[in-house]
Amino acid sequence: MSDATSPLSAIRLLILDVDGVLADGRIVYDQQGNELKSFHVRDGLGIKLWQQTGRQVAIISGRSTQAVARRATELGIEWLMQGVGDKLAALQQLLSQSGLTAKQAAAMGDDLPDWPLAQTCAAFIAPADACPEIRRAASYVTQAPGGGGVVREGIEWLLRQTHEWESLIAQYRVRL
């Protein structure tokens, strides 16, 4: 059951940065020069739970890698914007294409390029190890560092604010 009185109940879209949020922020190359990423499995389940509520997920990243494209496809993330230099312009484009407003969007980011999202979206979530300016701008700062399950933690926080978390996870409880 959703709490319609919460301003966060209007959020329909969660926008994610990659490096420092979905991944830990390190850049690792294999012998062939391919960039490798490591994703936390709990973030994947969190995204699937968020999508079960009828909400959408988008990725806006300054870098561009095949690993992110693959993970986005695996998770059914419709909106993938990689190689973005101006995240505010990307946000405006995304909102226009999705038919949503900034009041219907939440975002997660860890560093200065994400600051426009923090200043524009209805809610902003920062990992524990985000830069100080981003942590101060956040609606919520996670306990976990980037790449350590922060997306799941942020989704839980958002859905607890609207009183949807408990009913959403009831599907996993064993009934004896």
Q: Which residues contact 45 (CB under 8 A, 6 or more apart)?
A: 152
Number of domains in the chain: 1
Q: What pLDDT, on a 0 to 100 scale, did the predictor assign at position 4?
A: 61
Q: What pLDDT, on a 0 to 100 scale, did the predictor assign at position 171?
A: 85
Q: Does 101 map to a domain?
A: yes
Q: Which residues contact 108 (CB under 8 A, 6 or more apart)?
A: 14, 15, 16, 17, 21, 124, 125, 126, 127, 150, 151, 154
Q: Does 1 map to a domain?
A: no
User: For the chain, what is the mean pLDDT?
Assistant: 95
Q: Does 133 map to a domain?
A: yes
CA distance 63 to 68: 9
Q: Which of 2-6, 60-64, 107-111 has the lowest mean pLDDT?
A: 2-6
- What pLDDT digit, counting tens, does each position of 9-34 carry? 999 999 999 999 999 999 999 999 99
* Backbone region of residue 48 per phi and psi (left: phi > 0; alpha: psi in -120 to 50; beta: other values): alpha
Contact criterion met (CB below 8 Å) for 127 and 142? yes
Say which CATH number the domain at 150 has: 3.40.50.1000
Nearest to residue 133, comparing CAs of 106, 161, 114?
114
Structural domain boundaries enclosing 112: 7-172
Nearest to residue 107, comparing CAs of 85, 132, 134?
134
CA distance 102 to 52: 21
0.85 surpassed by pTM: yes
Give per-residue burial for 137-165: e unless 16+ CB within 10 Å, then b: bbbebbebbbbbbbbbbbbbbbbebbebb
Q: Does 2 map to a domain?
A: no
Strand, helix or coil at 23?
strand
Residue 28 structure tokens: 């690792």
Q: Does 118 map to a domain?
A: yes
